[in-house]
Structure formats: structure tokens, C-alpha cells
Structure 1
């Protein structure tokens, strides 16, 4: 009883005690949680975070210079018998982040994991620029050169090639430095979320069409005045993904009471929240925006590193691009640009489901990224297999769209579906709006760029001051540090070029050249030639552009030359003329080795600072009506001088810039000699008025063509006639990977060559120009859809018309009232131009043409206009071949046979045969090409105007002028082509082409 009673009371007391404990814990647990939250919160407030007790990985400072410090983590034991260090990996941080990012935690950080895997980790530390003297004046080139020097040091210390690894902009530095040093001493490049094709996918899906304009504005008007402090860099990074930032902060606050749960990620949180961010210098930001966003020069090439021009196409070491599936900063499409930008490199990719920072720091980085990197290094070092998940990067990714990170990836990566969906919907709606208005926006951008040019051109009258020298001055004033001239791998700013022009002007004044003087120019295409032309323009003198392959004495006589400017390479040719020779260029230290009695002045020995400018000198005095240049052409074997006024130059320059849509984003490759009208008026003129970069080449060399267009980042290539045939027919020519060229501009390209050029350089197009020497008529085939067409009148140019023409009697036809009749559609007509400005004294002027007392200039060129309003060159009026069957128009025949796939170039010319004249067409075929007679007959069966040639034959080569125009003279001298399997005659009975035999040839020669 007693026991029972006591036991009963014990059970009841136990239950009551348990309830009391439960009640007590319900009270104490929240209190304890609150106390822990307060304690941890106070520690965070006082010290910036929780004390984790973690110790940084050991490192040794191997090199310390003002620009950087070079750390070697886990320095190896140098005692005899110690294990040697593994392959070195040099890691590069972006400018806004601390170099400590590679060692956020010793256990899970990059340097710790790589060291345990047998890799020798090195880190370049650029420091905090706001705490280093001169740090806030650093630019991108300083970082690239510094990294290259650090590679040299690592190589010297370890004796091994270096693996260069960079995160985000650090990866961009790695690419740029590798290109700068042409992959010397590099084992590989490893880049984590590093954009290359910046315009392929911008952060937050910003529209690529607006990025260049915005980047240029920010570079020129914002970051040339301010820098970015560390707190602003941190805030900007966090605002790129505000939802994730807010989620991270909320999660931290929710777990603030649980110290053990927070400690594993505390170092990473502190790094991102405060400790990991450093200042960013304004010049570096400005250069980043201008070179790699506005101009996208990691893709196109031609970015400047302390004056040297660099291209990623020079990289030939292996590349591993680590790509984040949900990286909205280094988006996959942008990162994968390295495959196209570096065609000589073996490029691989490793795809990881992570955001931008998660690629290098965090759980996925420690479990996936760094073990893969270590295995990649061992594989290339010959000690392992290719890492799992690493695959060759495709040239064209299989995804249907890579405009940005996909919606599904964002939804899966977000914390809440509703928030993420709302965010993505808003962005998708904006994208739809952008897409719907893309055409309108493109039109608006092009109009905004084009209208000011055309408006300025429309305001030009006889008394307007406009000239090449004046435009160069304006560009130097508006963009003094803008890149103006590229040559021999170096870049020259507008300010430097303008200073050189002014110095040459002083030299010309010192030797007695005055305004209005006619000065011959015999120079190769060099910077000194461009400067000399601009200096004569600024002085108000006339530059007489003398072709080196012509009769120089005759050119000097026709141009009324009083003295001649030349370069050292052309000095001997210039000295054959009985006049004073002024030598410019070639370097100040060269010795000309001249006899004492030589009438030669070395312009480079004149000190411009000692020249007093006379009272009469006013820079850029040229009026639109003034003659600025004299150019030469050959007509029927005779050298003819053509006067080019400032207005004529301006019309072509502004028209070219508008038709080819040139801008400061372009680099124009001036292959055309400057003494040729196309080089002066189209290439140089268009580039100067657009503010584009001008890339000069020493000569057309097929082996350097691809190298230079990538090194210079060429977007526009100029040409004349069959110039590009020399490139693409060269046996060594091979275009692999991408290229930066978007358009070819010039005149006279044969139809067959045109077809091949657009096929090889797809998606580039051809803009073909036609212009009379006096500039009264200018046409441009802007669309490029109709190969061979000269297009339509250039916007801003003068009025043109086609006068009906009778080729049999060589007469312009009139109507019933006595006025000239306008040619109908596809009817041959003489191209007339309504004159604007001065008229060339040699021009054929006609009055009372379409109305009483009106004035027109006859170009003496024959054209036809098709149903769409496009103009097609037919022939020169004096060159029409009159055969017994009717007139043969050379250009029409050449265009027709040029459509045959095997034909590269065609030339139609007249050959006397007894009492008659034969029309003969010579064909130059592409390598390995052949022409069946059936195809030839079909191509010439239905010519739009004129009749087919009497004989067609294949030639091994054609004689070309210095401007790559085929010459008929040498072929005409050979007479009627010899009988062969590659020669055909037009059978009069069947109107088909048949094999030319010896018997038939003899019959034709005897007029049958």
C-alpha cells in the first residue's frame, strides 16, 4: 500500500515536472535565440562579420613593383630531395575585386584545392589603386602588360610554361595578355565567365544596338572624369542580381542566431559584403567601355596595348572556358565568342550550373570547378585524362538561341518561382518590345548618323571652306585621343597625326611652298603619304598624285608640277625629273646618300619649331570650288589629268561614309593606293569624315592580309578592280574561324570575283561605287544584291539622267521638240549629270538638253537603268566595239560571263581582222575552273543590250595596272586568239559557241 501510494504520487510528480520543463524551454529557447542573435549581431556590427578562426593560406611575395605584387602560395620546399612543385597556375582577379578571392577559405578556396591536387598556385595582386600612388590613373593596357611581365617571372622561377587563369575581367586580361605575347611561355588559358563577344549577350539582356552608343558616351563624358570606389563596385555587382542579393541577406538574418550554421559560409559572405571590393580607376573603365563594349575589339581585333595593336587570333595555346549556365554577367553566348576570336587555339568548355561568382567561390566551385581545373592542368602536363565534362567548344552552339541566359535556367535558379517569373516576364516583355521595334531603331540610328553628313553636304556651296585638312583638324579637336591611323602594328591618335601634319606644313612653308602651288606626290602608301596629302590641303596647295607606273615626266607636265614630294623608296624615280625633290618619311635617322649637287631637300631635318609662320598663312583655306588634287587616268593609252575640287572630294567622302554606314566603330583597311582616286576619295575620304580608324598596309601581300585584318580589327576593306583576286587565289590563303570584316568598298570588282568574295567572307557584303572624276555623277550599289550593278545615285549627290543613245551612229537622240530624249527602261543611254560646283575644263558640257538653257555635263559613259531603277554600266562611249553583227558593249559582256562560276575575271576588247573588227572576250578562270561551251552559249544568249562577242578564249593571266585593272593592250597585240580547246567562236548559223580550230581561225582572219 505504502509502495503503491508512493509510486502513484511519483508518476504524477514526474508528469508535472516534464510539463514544467516543457514550459520552461518554451520560454528559454526564444530568449536564448534572441541572446545569440544579439551577440552575433553585435559581433557583425563591430567587426564586419563573425570570427571564423580561419587562417589564410601561406604565400611568399616573389616580386613587388608599383603595379602589382606576385604571390606564390604554399612555397615549395627547396631542400635537396624535396618533392618538386607541380605545374604553375597564375590566377588573375578582376579590377574591382581583391586578389584574396582565390583564398576566401583555406579548405575550399582555389589555391588550397589546387595545392592539394599537386598544382603550384600563383596569384597576381594588383592591389587597391586608390591606395597606390598613381593607381587611379591606371588603364587596361597597364594591367595587360603587368600580367605579361608576371608570366615572365613565373616562367623564370619555375622553368615551366604557365597556365593563366582569370575570373571575369581577369579572364579578359588573360586573353589579352596571351594575345599581346602571342602565347609565348603559356601552357593554357583558363577563363571563368569571361566575356569575349561582349555584344552577343549583355548583362540583363540589354539591347546590343544601344550598347556601343551608351558605352561611348559613358567613356567620353563620365568615366574620363570620375573613378569608382570600392563600395560602388560592390553595390553595382549586387544590383546586377538584386533578388539573389536580397535573398542572401534575408537568409543571413534568419540564421543569425545559429553561429555553427553561418560559419562555413561566413568568409564568402564577408568577402562579397565588404572585404572583397576595391576601387576601379576611371581611365581603365573608360578604356574597357570604349575598346571592348563600344567597339567589341576582343572579337574584331585591333585593340591597343600601349600603342601596339593586338588580336586574340594570335592565341594558339589551349583554352578552357568555364561557363555558368545561369551566369547573367558572363553570359554563355558572350563567353563562347573565344572560339571564333581565336581560330588557331584548341578551345574547350566546361559547363557548370552556377551564377557568376559561384563559378570560382562556393560549394560548386570547390566540388566541380577547381577539381576540374586541376585535372585539366595535369592532363596538359601529360599526367592524366581529360577532365570529365570538358568538351571541345562548338563553333556554332546547338542552342536555338543564345541571346542570353534562358528563362528556364533563371526560374530553376531563383528562390521563388513567383518573384523570378515576374522578373523574367518584365524582361521578356521588354525584349519583345525591343524586337518589335528593332527595324525602327536601326533606321533611327542610321538616320541619326547619316543625316548630319548629308545636311552638311547640302550646305556646301562654292564659297564653303571644306577640305581634307579641315576635316582632319575637326576630328583632332573633337577626339584628340581617338585612334586615327594604324600602321606596322602601331596606333597613332588624331592628336598625334594632326601634330605631324602641322609640322609638315611648317616644313613646306620653310622651303617656299605657298598656297595654290602644284606639288607632285610620288610616294608609296605610308603614313607619310597621308600626312603629306593632308598637309598640302591644310596649306591650300594642290597635291598632284603621280602614279608610279606611269610616264612621270608626262604626269608632271600635265599637272603643272613645280616640285615633288617623295619618300626614300621613290627618291631615285623622282630625281629623274628636272625639279626640286622634297623627301619626307622613312625615319629621321636615315641617310639618303645624295651627291652634293643634288637638288634634294630632306624635310625630316627641318625643325618645325624654328619655322616662323608668314602673315599670309591661314590653315585650311580651301574653298569647295578650289582644285585640291590632280589625279590621273589612262584613256586609250593616253595619260589624262583630272582636277578634283574640294567639293568633289567632300561629295565622295561624305557619300561613302553614308552609303557604307561608316562610324567611329569602324576600321577601314586602305589597300587602295592613295594616288588612285578610289583610295583618296573613297577609302581615305570616307574614313576621315566618319572618324573611323585608317589602317594602312605597306603593300597587298596575301600572306599578310588575314593577319592584318585581325590584328587591326578591320571592319571595312577597300579595293579597286581585281585587287582581291590576288588574295583569295593565293595557294596559302585559308580563312578559318571568324573575321571582323563587314563590308568591302571600292569600284570595278568583276562579277565573278564579287561572288567569290561574298561567299568566302560571309556575312560581309560589297558596296560598289561608280564616280566620274569630276564628281558630278556618283552611284553606289549599297544593297549588294545585284552583283555587277552600279546601284543608284548617292544620297546628297547631284541629279543625273540617261540620254537616249544610238550606238550605230554614235548620236544622242532627240524628241520631236528638239530636246534630248530620256532613255527608256533597259535602253542604252549616255549618263548626264546636272553640275554642282565648278565644272572640269575638259568636261563635255551641253546646254538646252531637257529644257531651254539648262546645263548638263556628259560623262561619256553608257548605262542602262533596269525596272527597279538600278544603273548598269554598259561601256565607255568611245570604246564601243562596232562589229558587222552590231555593237558589242564590253561591260555588259563581262558581267554576263562573270556569272559563270568558274570565271574570275573577263575582259572584252577589239581586234582588227582584215576589213572588219572582231570583239574578243578573254576569261581568267578561278583555280581548277573550266567553262563548257554550252554554259558559255547560254550566258551570252540573251544579253540585255548589244550583241555577243565573236570569240571567247581562256588566258593564263592578264596584265594588270598598279590598281589591278586588266589591260587590253597586251592581248590586242597578240591579235586573233590561237586555236585551242579553251577558245570558242560564235557560229553565225546556230548562234552557239563552238571550238575554235585552226581552219576556222584562218577563215575568220580572212573575213570568211
Structure 2
């Protein structure tokens, strides 16, 4: 039987064709397709970009809406024109639009390219939008693929949407930590991104071949499959040619280098700290937030995109609450969103229809829908639906048999994700607690040293944000060193008490750090009527003040050094006043003396003096370096502060919450500090978003002014996760939780002397001061009799420890690294023990949580027993109609009576029944004798409600808004003139029962 000639010639022709095509690939890198690229003209050229206008001579160039397409850093601008007939620019042009493409070039081929930063790219886009708007006299539709889309979001936020008709993004993640490639755990990603940004890409760039390899590594199965398919069809030129431009683009031609600084910015701001969602990313030294975008947004997302995963892309819905946000979902991977058959059939036609709809030339495109929140049913950790994932994975893996390995990887990823929160907390907390345990009395630790340490670790990290400007650690430490020169030139020496009388501003914190760097003591003086007395009590020798407090500083008759407010100003100084303007000193000639050693402060040494009380009760509060470090690292641990946090410092430095919690906690946690120029409710909501504030500090009733403001605009997209401070009334606490859900409140208590720090970390018991912070002093409640003002002793003469729910004086044990600066008690509970007493009375519940009752000196001792202020204030403040409350004592005859005064949130007062119900939770003998409504309650500099003025007025005037305690019935009844007359005519001050 003879052989069929076709059986021989067919394989031979196939072999020859394979050889010919293979030789062409070897010689030229690929097959030469028949299709060509689209025509364009470079309209603008700069060191950062070349701006291409496609089809410049066509009619659509003159009449069509301009669409600007931005490539990602690692990809050539030709990604939008891989093939003329199926590429983005060709399809957009055919639809009557005016396509433009930004070409950033490749950093390795541009002058200064390796030094490009993220800011350079955004400022380039900012300039491009202005140029195209001027060129066409039309607003621009700005679109970008992958990181190019992120650039578009950032540029629109930077411009606040000016001259931008809409944003169109393709696989561009916003919430980068919501869904990471390969299911990488968040903790691993953030720590790795931080390390790479600070220690790798500050000195290393990514070449084009590295970018190509990394992209292919993200989907190795698809890469291998595409190469196998290419080899299998190498004999069939006609089958390969349609896909050849795409293959060559992905394999060789489409990749460009990344500059190291730009990659570091990307990793630091948008991976490690996820600031596309939280806000507060930095462009040109300004804080910016996506929340300021107001133009419409269309986000294309791939249902099987493992790089720009759907959950990450949909983060824009939360990040841009003021914008109309739409999505178009299609079954495609990351590259398939913009190149290939799916893109040609769906992506670019839908983009054209979107632009026409926004221009009023058509209806909303089919498939474009308002962006939906992630669906928890059928959606995995990435946001890729399980059905899509299974279908795509089976199809992809069928050719290479890798399903087993992939399945194992997904199981492992799930296990790691389940443990990531716990590991993240431990990774942050354990080193801080270990460091506290290593501090000994002679350990060098101080504000100045911690700032210097953070600066050495990452000099270009952001330290402060103030009035939209961002200051790096390098700039802050340089400013501190310059202030040191000015202080030295004006006679400041180690251990000298230097007063600081300044409002909240970066210069105030720099002044405190400079004083610390010199080894001197900062005496933090509250601006106000007590300034002169505070300077005297604090032993101040020189005073640093800002221009706003200059008159108050001069009134102390001390030498005044003026700092802050800029270097161009004229100070209005009284003749003869000893005032030096530090901003005008020429420090270039100042020589540091031989004794100068930077940051010499030891743990045991005095670092700060704060003040508590006011007027005749003004007292000093001494803070050692150890005590400051304890509060700083304790706060960072309790609040789980990290580099991704931005702390909004509303509390002034002269208050312990400002110095110990805000400033200290942020420094210890490596967090940014956002400063507000005083409490301004109108700016609060705006700055929260723009700065990306995650933690807000407060004192006492400070948040009340924010919540009561009509100008406060806060919605569910706010980035705040935590409020930390001290003294917040429970009613205000609940209001804050409700308005800023799901944020929590962490309430602190710190003793005036010793190392006692309590924190209500869980927030589950509103009003409680919580438990001792890890690393702080051990505490104990000593039984206390408020009637005699003495501790209660047992039969052996030792003080009796309190049982649960018993009133006691809080004592703290001095630590190994601290030296008691005040009174100490010895032999308290057993022979030889040493304790430092606080001034405050507490109860401890059965769970071990501590509840503040009162200062031991302000307990009102009445005929029916002691009345503690804090429980009364707490329960009255929980009445919805009550705003603020204070409790105080007044003398009536030979005895005292307890009075509670309240202000209202509205016009309607609570009823006697509501007052009775609220105070029923307080033990009967500890309830106030009188409750009355007052027009206002004065607030101190730290927003603490003060009762001094009300106490001085004596007996409240009977009104329809005053009630007295009827001890016989256990209720509160209307306080009338007749009842008042009986009280004042009685033999004792004790409130008699009604008759």
C-alpha cells in the first residue's frame, strides 16, 4: 500500500514554517505584524513627560471631548496603542473622542530620571490637565490603568477636581490592604513595605526587565501557558499575528524602569499606610485626601484580577464619599482590562459611552452601575467571587496541572490571614514593653533622643502636619538643632528651668524637644490668668513664648525668647522688656560650648513640670524622663499606634494628654502628628479627612464643642479609629461613639506623682479608668475613711487593702527606673514596702477595673455621709437632655451640703423622675442634696468643667429647674422657696425631709 503524499508533505511544511517563524523570532524578537500604531503628535515636552495627542489632524481632535490616558510607572505609554484597530486610542477616536496619552518615558533614559518621586508624577499630571484645558477649552476626562489610575485619583484630589470632567480607572486599587496579591497577610505587607521603602528603594531602582519579571511572577501560570501556546502555534503565522503585538509588548517592549524614590513613596504611603483610603498622603509637602474628589468616577474591575483585586478597587467608594462612583465589572485579568479582545469589545466601547453620557450626548452605558459595597456572600478575602475564581482557575490550570499547589497556597494564606491581627499587635507591643523593661535610672531617654532616633531610622518620614504642610523628621530635627543654638546663645544651660508659653504649633513641640536636647527642664505654662503664678511656682529662669502669648510672657518680668510665627514680623514689645526674637538670630556664628552633649537626659532626671488646678489651688506636677517614656510607650502599646497612624493633637502641650499621650505616644509609635491651630470645630471634619487622621486626642469635654458644631461634616467614610485622652464624661463618650462609629475611646488616668497609669483599653465599660498599663507602676487601693481623711488600719497597724467596690486611696509602687519626686509611704501593707500615694479615691470592681470617685480633698462630707463628685457627674451626664455637670459642696450653717449643677443640650429640662432614676444608681448616702440647672458652666484651659464660680455663689436660687433630695421617699422633688427657707432656718446644714 502506498503512502499518501499529504501525510508526508503536511508535517514537512509545518516543520519548515516553524523553523522560518522561529528564526524570525530569534532575529527580530518576534513576528512582524501587518498592523501599525496610531498616528500622534507630541504636543508638550518636559523633563518628566511627553504629551501625545492622537489623530491630531482629525475632526474629532477639534470637537471631541478630551480623554487623557495615564500609564503605570512600570509600563510604556504604548499600552494604549498595542494595535491600531483594537487599541484604546483607536477605539476612542472612532467613537468621536479626542484621545491624549501621557508618556513618562523610562527613568533610565531621562536626565534625572532615577531621582523621580511620586510627587513629580502627580505634579506632572496637574500641569498636563491645565495645559489640555487651556488647549481645548474643555474639562478633561482623566483615565489611568493600574498605578496610572492611582495617579489620576491622587492628581484629582490634589486639584480638588478642578477642570476634571470625570475619572476613569482600570484595575486601580485604592484600599490596597483590603486585598493583596497572593493573599499576602496585611501585617507582612505593611512591615515589608516599610522596610523596603526605608532601606532598599532609597538606594535601589527597578529596571525594566525587573518590572517585567515581577509582573509575570504575579501570574506565573498564565505566563507559562501563553508561552506554551505560542510554541504550539509557531507554525501557524496567521493564527499568531493577531496576538503578536500583545505578546511582544508583555514579553519585551512594554516595560520601563521605576525610579527608587517613586517606588519608596508608593510603598510607604499607599501600601504600608494605605493612605488612599485614610487620607493624608503627601504631595509637594501638602497633605491630600481622596475625600476631596467631587467629579464622577468610573472604575473598571476585573472579576479575576489578582493584582487590582475587586475589593481593593472598590475601596474608592469609601475613600471618595463626595463623588458619584460607578463601576464596570468584566471577566478579565489585570492586563486584559486594557489590552486584548475583552478590552476591545467591552472596556473601550464602555469608556467611550461613559464620556458621551457625562457630556450629555447619550445614556448611561449598559453595564455601568453605581459601585456596590462588597458582598459578603460568595466573595473571598480578595473580593473576587468564588464562582469566578473557580471557573477561571480551572480553565487556567487545566493546561499545566498546577491546581494542587495553588490549592495548598490558598489554604495556607487563609491560615495566615486568620492570625494576622494578633501577630500585628504582638509585633508592635512586645518591643515597646521590652524597651520599657530595660530602662534603668541611668538610662539615657528623653523627648529629644526619641526624635533623633526616629530621624536616624527614616529621615524622610513625615513627622508633623500643620496647616496642610508636612514636615519630615529630617526637617524637624534640623529645626530643633537650630533652636538649640539660639537657646545656648541666650544663656540656657542644662538643668535650667525654661518656661514654654505657646499655643499648639510645631514650634512649641520643637521648643520642648530643643530644651530636652540641651538637658534642661521644660516648664509648660498654660496660657491664661495663672501664667505669672505658674512661672513662679515652676522656678522659671527664662521663658520661650510665641507672638500670640508675648504680652502674657512679658508680664512675668522674665527674659523672653520669642519663637514661631515666621521669621518676617515686627514684635510689639514694651520699652525695657527683656525680649529676644529667636527667629532673627544669625545662628551661623554660634559655637556650641564644650559642655554640650545632645540629649543627655537620664531616666531618673526631671524633664517637665506641668500644672494642675488653678488660682489658689494651682500645683506643680513633676515628670521625669522615665515617666514621660512610660506614658509614651504605654500609650503607643495601648492604642496600638504605628507608622500608618496620624494622631490629631487637639490637647495642648501644657496638659498631660498633650505631652504624655499625644506627643509621647505618637513619637513612641512612629506615628505622624497632625496639629490644629486651636480647637476649631469648623476645621475638624475637613482636617480629619485631609490629614488621614486615625487617632484623635482630647481632654475632658473638648469633643463637646466638636459634636455640637453645625459645621461638622462627618460620615461613615471617616478614617478615625480611636479617641484617646482623659476626663471625657460618659454621656459625651456615648455621643462620640455614636457619631464616629466604629471608632473607640481609650480613656487614660495618670497620677500627679509616681508612675501610675490606668487605661480603659477595651472601652466596654464607659466611664471606667480601666486597669494599669503594662510596664506602669503596680497599684493598690488602701482603705480610706473620707470622714476623718485617714487611711484605715487593721489590728496590726498596717493599712488594710480594699475589697472590691470599697472606697480607697490609689497608691502606686515606685519602679526600678524611677525616683520618687514627692511623698513616699513606707511600711504600708507590710514591713519595708514603699508606695507613692496619689490624691484620688477609687473603687475597683470585681473584674479589676478602676472607677474614679473624687480627689480626697474635694469630697463633700455631709450629715448623711460623703458625696463623691465623679459618680454624680457621670450619671447626670448620661441623661440625654443634660450637657455638662459638676458637683461641689457649699456650707449651710455648721455643715456642708452637696450640690450638682447641670447645663442643658436643648431648652427642655429633665423631669424630677428622670433625675431620681439617674441617681438611683448611686448609693443613697452618696447622692447630692440639690440638683439645679444653670445657664453655663465655666471651662478651664483643658476644657474641664469648673465649679469654683458656682460654689462662690452659695445656695442655689429655687426655680422650676431645681430639685432637692427627699431622704424619706428616696426621690428628688421640686426645690421651692419654702423648702429653701426651712433649710436655712434649720439648726444644721443637712437637708431636712419634706413635711
Displacement of 1:766: 1.2
1:751/1:905 contact within 8 Å kept: no
Corresponding residue to 2:724 among 745, 769, 773: 745
For residues 286-325 of structure 1, what are the structure 2 equivalents within 5 Å? 286-325=264-303
Aligned to 2:562: 583
Corresponding residue to 2:672 among 659, 670, 693: 693
SS at match of 1:210: helix
2:141/2:165 contact within 8 Å kept: yes
How far apart, in 2, do the equivalents of 1:351 and 1:398 lie?
Answer: 17
Task: Summarize the Cα distance change of 1:102–1:663 in structure 2 as closer, same or farther, 3 Å threshold.
Answer: same
Displacement of 1:963: 0.7
Spell out, residue by residue over 1:638-668, the C-alpha distance to the aligned partner (whole angstroms, 9 max, x if none): 2112222222212211211222122222221
1:333/1:402 contact within 8 Å kept: no
Corresponding residue to 2:407 among 421, 425, 428: 425
How far apart, in 1, do the equivalents of 2:417 and 2:519 lie?
Answer: 50
Aligned to 2:235: 257
How far apart, in 1, do the equivalents of 2:440 and 2:251 lie?
Answer: 63
Task: Summarize the Cα distance change of 1:321–1:983 in structure 2 as closer, same or farther, 3 Å threshold.
Answer: farther
Moved more, 295-304 or 30-39: 30-39
Aligned to 2:989: none
How far apart, in 2, do the equivalents of 1:140 and 1:83 lie?
Answer: 30
Match status 1:142 vs 2:117: no
Displacement of 1:110: 0.7
How far apart, in 1, do the equivalents of 2:85 and 2:799 lie?
Answer: 91
What is the total number of aligned residue pairs between the two structures? 982
Task: Summarize the Cα distance change of 1:615–1:751 in structure 2 as closer, same or farther, 3 Å threshold.
Answer: same
Match status 1:32 vs 2:10: no
With normalisation by structure 1, the TM-score equals 0.94
Spell out, residue by residue over 1:762-816, the C-alpha distance to the aligned partner (whole angstroms, 9 max, x if none): 2221111111122432111111111111111121112221111122222210011
Displacement of 1:442: 3.8
Task: Summarize the Cα distance change of 1:402–1:444 in structure 2 as closer, same or farther, 3 Å threshold.
Answer: closer
SS at match of 2:745: strand
Displacement of 1:838: 6.0
How far apart, in 2, do the equivalents of 1:260 and 1:930 lie?
Answer: 86
Aligned to 1:164: 142
2:716/2:740 contact within 8 Å kept: no
Aligned to 1:941: 920
Displacement of 1:854: 2.7
How far apart, in 2, do the equivalents of 1:424 and 1:1004 lie?
Answer: 84
How far apart, in 2, do the equivalents of 1:587 and 1:304 lie?
Answer: 22
SS at match of 2:888: strand
How far apart, in 2, do the equivalents of 1:391 and 1:1001 lie?
Answer: 69
Aligned to 1:674: 653
Corresponding residue to 1:361 among 339, 344, 362: 339
Displacement of 1:157: 0.3
Displacement of 1:606: 1.6
SS at match of 1:370: helix
Task: Summarize the Cα distance change of 1:431–1:995 in structure 2 as closer, same or farther, 3 Å threshold.
Answer: farther
How far apart, in 2, do the equivalents of 1:695 and 1:990 lie?
Answer: 53
How far apart, in 2, do the equivalents of 1:122 and 1:467 lie?
Answer: 55
Spell out, residue by residue over 1:399-428, the C-alpha distance to the aligned partner (whole angstroms, 9 max, x if none): 564511233212212425654643542233
1:467/1:624 contact within 8 Å kept: yes
Task: Summarize the Cα distance change of 1:483–1:929 in structure 2 as closer, same or farther, 3 Å threshold.
Answer: farther
Aligned to 1:41: 22
1:774/1:839 contact within 8 Å kept: no
Q: Structure 1 stretches of 5 or more lacking a match?
A: 1-18
Corresponding residue to 1:513 among 486, 492, 496: 492
Aligned to 1:8: none
How far apart, in 2, do the equivalents of 1:558 and 1:533 lie?
Answer: 19
Aligned to 2:416: 434
1:332/1:402 contact within 8 Å kept: no
1:56/1:106 contact within 8 Å kept: yes
Corresponding residue to 1:198 among 164, 176, 192: 176
How far apart, in 2, do the equivalents of 1:855 and 1:409 lie?
Answer: 67
Aligned to 1:733: 712
2:198/2:458 contact within 8 Å kept: no
Match status 1:279 vs 2:251: no
Corresponding residue to 1:352 among 317, 320, 330: 330
Displacement of 1:596: 5.7
With normalisation by structure 2, the TM-score equals 0.95
2:754/2:836 contact within 8 Å kept: no
Match status 1:96 vs 2:96: no
2:208/2:255 contact within 8 Å kept: yes
Match status 1:64 vs 2:42: no
Aligned to 1:829: 808
Aligned to 1:4: none
For residues 608-647 of structure 1, what are the structure 2 equivalents within 5 Å? 608-634=587-613, 637-647=616-626
1:72/1:121 contact within 8 Å kept: yes
How far apart, in 2, do the equivalents of 1:174 and 1:719 lie?
Answer: 36
Spell out, residue by residue over 1:501-529, the C-alpha distance to the aligned partner (whole angstroms, 9 max, x if none): 11111111111111122121111111111
Moved more, 504-513 or 631-640: 631-640
Task: Summarize the Cα distance change of 1:374–1:399 in structure 2 as closer, same or farther, 3 Å threshold.
Answer: farther
How far apart, in 2, do the equivalents of 1:401 and 1:970 lie?
Answer: 61
Spell out, residue by residue over 1:60-89, the C-alpha distance to the aligned partner (whole angstroms, 9 max, x if none): 1110011000011111458xxx98421111
How far apart, in 1, do the equivalents of 2:148 and 2:39 lie?
Answer: 22
How far apart, in 1, do the equivalents of 2:949 and 2:25 lie?
Answer: 90
Moved more, 644-653 or 826-835: 644-653
Q: Structure 2 stretches of 5 or more lacking a match?
A: 987-991
How far apart, in 1, do the equivalents of 2:47 and 2:615 lie?
Answer: 68
1:844/1:859 contact within 8 Å kept: no
Task: Summarize the Cα distance change of 1:960–1:515 in structure 2 as closer, same or farther, 3 Å threshold.
Answer: same
How far apart, in 2, do the equivalents of 1:898 and 1:551 lie?
Answer: 29
How far apart, in 1, do the equivalents of 2:955 and 2:69 lie?
Answer: 72
Aligned to 1:243: 221
SS at match of 1:165: strand
Displacement of 1:49: 1.7
Displacement of 1:637: 4.4
How far apart, in 1, do the equivalents of 2:357 and 2:869 lie?
Answer: 63
Corresponding residue to 1:710 among 678, 689, 695: 689
For residues 431-830 of structure 1, what are the structure 2 equivalents within 5 Å? 431-435=413-417, 438=419, 441-594=420-573, 597-634=576-613, 637-830=616-809
Aligned to 2:56: 75
Aligned to 1:883: 862
Task: Summarize the Cα distance change of 1:443–1:55 in structure 2 as closer, same or farther, 3 Å threshold.
Answer: closer
Aligned to 2:199: 221
Moved more, 186-195 or 768-777: 768-777
SS at match of 2:652: coil
Task: Summarize the Cα distance change of 1:347–1:1002 in structure 2 as closer, same or farther, 3 Å threshold.
Answer: farther
How far apart, in 2, do the equivalents of 1:83 and 1:111 lie?
Answer: 12
How far apart, in 1, do the equivalents of 2:901 and 2:9 lie?
Answer: 103
Spell out, residue by residue over 1:292-325, the C-alpha distance to the aligned partner (whole angstroms, 9 max, x if none): 1111111111111121111111111111111111
Match status 1:176 vs 2:158: no
Moved more, 634-643 or 538-547: 634-643
Corresponding residue to 2:106 among 125, 128, 132: 128
2:185/2:417 contact within 8 Å kept: no
How far apart, in 1, do the equivalents of 2:343 and 2:427 lie?
Answer: 47
How far apart, in 2, do the equivalents of 1:153 and 1:644 lie?
Answer: 57
1:826/1:944 contact within 8 Å kept: no
2:563/2:582 contact within 8 Å kept: yes
Aligned to 1:15: none
Spell out, residue by residue over 1:949-990, the C-alpha distance to the aligned partner (whole angstroms, 9 max, x if none): 222234443211111100112332444444445433322222
Aligned to 2:33: 52
SS at match of 2:600: coil
2:754/2:814 contact within 8 Å kept: no
Task: Summarize the Cα distance change of 1:396–1:930 in structure 2 as closer, same or farther, 3 Å threshold.
Answer: farther
